[in-house]
Structure 1
């Protein structure tokens, strides 16, 4: 599999790692000004890599120690064992970490999928209800799998109503493209590639129709965030300055990030079309505005209930303490003063 795009590995692996949480007593990183951040290669990190290359963190006294992992599960496991100060999990992974007892703070929403994730279906399949009894290629236990279950739940279908063909995102797309499978769940760039190559079918549903379903987050260990609020604030400000640079200088920003990510600029540009990168105002809305339909706590509570119904977590945790808007609010206050 192309490791550049394997951002969403199976939750079963994360559950197993989190289940051993009490067994780990590793000493956390001690350099407060150089927090260790675990990342995997994903387009949502584009503003962060711009910030790192342009010195936006260093200008604020933050020497970010970026450690790149082949899979998000590996980074989350290191986070559980306190070998990292921060990670960038998908929302469902954050719920699983919280349910397992890991204390952390969500300080920034990295990106929201608005078309990067989708479901491919043959032309003969006219609606989601027609999925009943069909074979569907999707990676079992992955975020793509839970996205599929959430989508099918809207038409009253569940896991028992289709035959799951376990396949990673690239293989699922390839099986659909070759005509071996009628339905596949995958994400960019495989989604667009398979849709273009296979004329008998289309993207029947994508994450733009369920824009709160898949979020990537930046989270810090609770102890680190509580002891070093100025470093977390520097991180938040640096990422958002990187985003502002990308918006003002898109070609240069993509060129900078593509070098850091090891992704060709055109491929990175295509991937960015399927995600929304929230600015400061959008982050405040998602982290602090309980009246907004984008309020992250509501999204995560719904996801936790869904994961519990699928026996992925034993009970729904109180997620309120995990969402920490004070850093984005402090940045807003500084900018307005």
Structure 2
């Protein structure tokens, strides 16, 4: 794909901003009083494993960041709270980021949390031979969330639309439970609920998962623009903490899994299996995905394509301005200073 002027501006702004931020970080006092707080809305999700480790091990606090985590059961609730200014940050997927931008919210995506490689999926009864046979069926799904738009993409591939099925609004956890109990014919959910329901409901299987649509579902970390401007070190501290958590997981896997498993209320070995369905990008992979238009997983291309899809599906009324949405300067500052 050719580099457009807009994409080139992202790269230039990232380099300049990263240099300025790095200078700010180098001169910032490290006293105990130099602390700042950020409220963040999160769901129960295996991709947050490095973040859970960072909280437990105090990595955010090492950089002066007090992260106040607010746990939500549905994406729509956390996204609404963020759009209303009640949260400083959230962890949306690409489709949700486009929706929030379309609502006029000013925010920046500062890093990629994970890429789904099978962690999101559609459960269906054995009598449903393929996606086309979902026509006329009741499907449990968290409307307005990643699960909803993933379903729309899958239906579109099969020549179907939302009008061809009956959507039953429920959270991903509730959708999995309803499918497991035999109350609905199909459900859209994600790990760990996906695997749990699939194991318990013998009359069914995962009919489609995100491994068949690489890059379609990426979980992101995003913060309010005014918050980042008011606390320029907050973005750096957050990125550093998450990457430090990932580094800890890679070097101390058993302990890291145990920490996150407690947060997720699942067994460490179950979490280990779930993580195999995700790509947790390291520092260089993150920089590449946020700045390199030649990368297969370049986020700039992904959000543009998703925005066009949502417009065609009439989920948004017009294409939002996505030109300033991606901000890689915090990743670049961490790259300059290192993770020690």
Instruction: Tell me the TM-score range normalised by the shorter chain.
Output: 0.7 to 0.9
User: Counterpart of 1:308?
Assistant: 311
Distance in 2 separating the partners of 1:174 and 1:262: 16
**Partner Cα separation in structure 1 for residue 38 and residue 202 of structure 2:** 48
Q: CA deviation at 1:178?
A: 4.8
Compute the RMSD of aligned alpha carbons.
2.6
The alpha-carbon distance between structure 1 residues 56 and 309, as it changes in their structure 2 partners (threshold 3 A), is same
- Which residue in the other structure is 1:59 paired with? 62
| 2:217 aligned with 1:214 | yes
CA distance in 2, matches of 1:241, 1:172: 34
Mapped partners of 1:256, 1:191: distance in 2: 21
Contact 2:115/2:215 (8 A) holds in 1? yes
Q: C-alpha separation between the residues in 2 aligned to 1:190 and 1:168?
A: 11
Equivalent-residue separation in structure 2 for 1:124 and 1:259 (angstroms) = 37
Q: Classify the secondary structure of the residue corresponding to 1:46.
A: helix
Q: Aligned runs of 1:1-337 on 2, under 5 Å?
A: 33-179=36-182, 181-335=184-338
Displacement after TM superposition at 1:237 (Å): 1.2
More contact order relative to length (CA 8 Å, sep ≥ 6):
2
**What displacement does 1:208 show?**
1.1
Gaps of 5+ in 2: 1-33
Residue 197 (structure 1) shift: 3.1
Q: CA deviation at 1:118?
A: 0.9
Instruction: Give the secondary structure class of the aligned counterpart of 1:320.
Output: coil
What TM-score, normalized by structure 2, do the two folds share? 0.80
Distance 1:248 1:156, change over 3 A: same
Q: Identify unmatched segments of 5+ residues in structure 1.
A: 1-30
Contact 1:32–1:228 at 8 Å: present in 2 too? no
TM-score, structure 1 normalization:
0.80
Partner of 2:303, secondary structure, is helix
TM-fit CA distance, 1:280: 1.0
Q: 1:57 is paired with a residue of what secondary structure?
A: helix
Aligned residues: 306
